[in-house]
Amino acid sequence: METTPMDIRKRPFSVEYYTNVMLPDGIFDTALKKQWITCFYTNISDRTLPTVHIYLEGVGDPGIVPVAHSYFFTEIKPGASVRVSWLANFEYGTPGKKLVSFIAQAQGMSPVRTLKHIFVSKTTKDPATGEYACTFDEGTLKISKLEVIGPKDRWLPCSERYKDCRPANGPWVPAKMSMAFYPNPPYTGIHGDLPFADPWWKIFAWIIAAIAAIVAAVAAAMGEGTASTAVSGSFEETTGDVDCCTPDPGGIPGDESITVAGVASTIATAAVGVALSDSADPWWRGQDATPPADGELTMAEIVNAEFVYPAGAPQAGKPYPVRVMWEYQRITTGETYTHSVEETQTNIHVNGGVEVEVPSVHHAFAEPLVLKSRFKREDGQLFIGDDLYAFLLLRSPDDMYFLVHLTDDGIEPDERPNDGTYTGSIHLERVYGALLKHKLKIEGLWRVYVFAQDVNDATPDMLPQIAAQRIGGFMIASGLQITFNPTLPCPLQAQATVTVVL
């Protein structure tokens, strides 16, 4: 019997449960208990596969517990990549590279098992010192003296309509940090091992910043509770004159408006990744510039960095510059070596335009509302298929948000796979009850906000130094902008509107 021709071509990635955003480079972290193990499953044949069954068989770590769930597709067209996710509890997971087993089976064919690695780190915070530590097999990265540009006013104004006075934690745009890496074990020579033999050390600095920001956003939305996380607390605020906007979506408690804060956190903290370069980061460059003497063991490596934003706040999908001053220190058993750099880095995770297609008028209970978006690269070519993790927020006339996933897989309502049109749908009849619960109307002007993050496309056969330069998780398109104007909320700019009628 023929084996089902389905494969996972890109590494599975983490999507945070509350905010719906992909974590930096898709890496999983045990600080966040609930995460979606997400991947794209591709029909690698030249024919349509009928009645395809997909499920997650298991994870090579008993501390990571996925919720059993199966997907059934009536058909998957040639070359199509379907996006599938499994909710999992990572609370008792251990850091390291873990194998995940997936099974796919088409009607009339034998099942195929696909084994893929996921990368798991463990971030904790010392409540006494405020120091964050991110652990993985190759060592531990610790961050201290973390300063950010954040909202001056920690509290949203109360909404008279909903009496919603939640504190506003974020976005937090990094301004300064001290990062110390302790290799396990200490090593000889110029370079140590890359974490997981894949990403740069800087990715874990971004992970720490992103997790702290997400935890703060979720805790704020839940009334400053623990938010079911293992990391607590928030950033320090800078004492300078520069402050940041507050994400103020005006949403209803309990809806998807927390995704807005998650997007803001992703955009803001991604500045760490931009400033520390997509190519060789300060640790690798510092190692090159400070070769130790024969026989010396490198015990620790410290990078002190300061970030300045000459063109204003970071913007998703835009080539914004970050001026960075960093100093690298290599501490060995015999000597301390230093290397300093001052330079300007520019965000390269950009788009060449975003198109959104929606009907001008939609009858609420007639049929599902279909929404489409296309994301251009700088050269005008379209992102397609599994290039992006994309979704949109649909905002009702009375400010309730609904999440709609966007895919380019040729499965209804999407017309063709890999044509660059990411499509989603929502039947407003199904959300009518949620609107009625808050005495909100369904008819009126609905607004559409589109978001997309790029997916790491490194392949297992790449050399570590090459794979490390393939970074995912950057927000390349967003309906939200960050501004260094604390008198205004971070503006949400609808890319499209649709009038709903009864």
Decide if 230 contacts 297 (C-beta within 8 A).
no
Query: Range with the lowest mean pLDDT among 3-12, 93-102, 161-170, 217-226?
Result: 161-170
Give how far the C-alpha of residue 155 lies from the chain's centroid of Cα atoms, to the nearest Å: 25
Higher pLDDT, 219 or 369: 369
Q: Does residue 170 have a pLDDT over 80?
A: no
Could you tell me which CATH class the domain 6-120 is placed in? mainly beta
Q: Are 7 and 100 in contact (CB under 8 A)?
A: no
pTM assigned to the model: 0.92
Domain ranges of the chain: 6-120, 122-346, 353-501
201: amino acid identity, one letter: W
Q: Write the DSSP symbol of residue 156.
A: P
- Strand 475-477 to 236-237 pairing: unpaired
**What is the average pLDDT value for the chain, to the nearest integer?**
89
**Exposure of 202 by Cβ count < 10 A (0-12 exposed, 13-18 middle, 19+ buried)?**
buried
Query: What are the pLDDT digits (tens) for 175-202?
Result: 999 999 999 999 999 998 888 777 788 8
For the ranges 245-249, 409-413, 436-440, the lowest mean pLDDT is seen at: 245-249
pLDDT tens-place string over residues 347-359: 999 999 999 999 9
How many CA atoms lie within 13 Å of 236's alpha carbon, on the beta-carbon side?
15
Structure tokens at 317: 């999908």
pLDDT-derived band of residue 248, with 50, 70 and 90 as boundaries?
Answer: low
Q: What pLDDT sits at residue 289?
A: 97
> Is residue 430 within a helix (H) or strand (E), and if so which, with residue range?
helix 428-437
The Cα 15–Cα 207 span in angstroms is 13
pLDDT tens-digit profile of 41-93? 999 999 999 999 999 999 999 999 999 999 999 999 999 999 999 999 999 99
Same topology between domain 6-120 and domain 353-501 = yes
Please report, rounded to a whole number, the percentage of residues in the chain having pLDDT higher than 90: 71
Percent of the chain with pLDDT over 70: 88
Name which residue leads in pLDDT, 213 or 122. 122
Burial class (CB in 10 A: 0-12, 13-18, 19+), 72: exposed
pLDDT of residue 288: 95
> HSE-up of 237 (CA within 13 Å, CB side)?
15
Choices 3.40.50.740, 1.10.3720.10, 2.60.40.10, 3.40.50.10440: CATH for 353-501: 2.60.40.10
Q: Which residue carries 């599902």 as its tokens? A: 368
Residue 235: band (very low, low, confident or very high) from pLDDT cuts 50, 70, 90: low
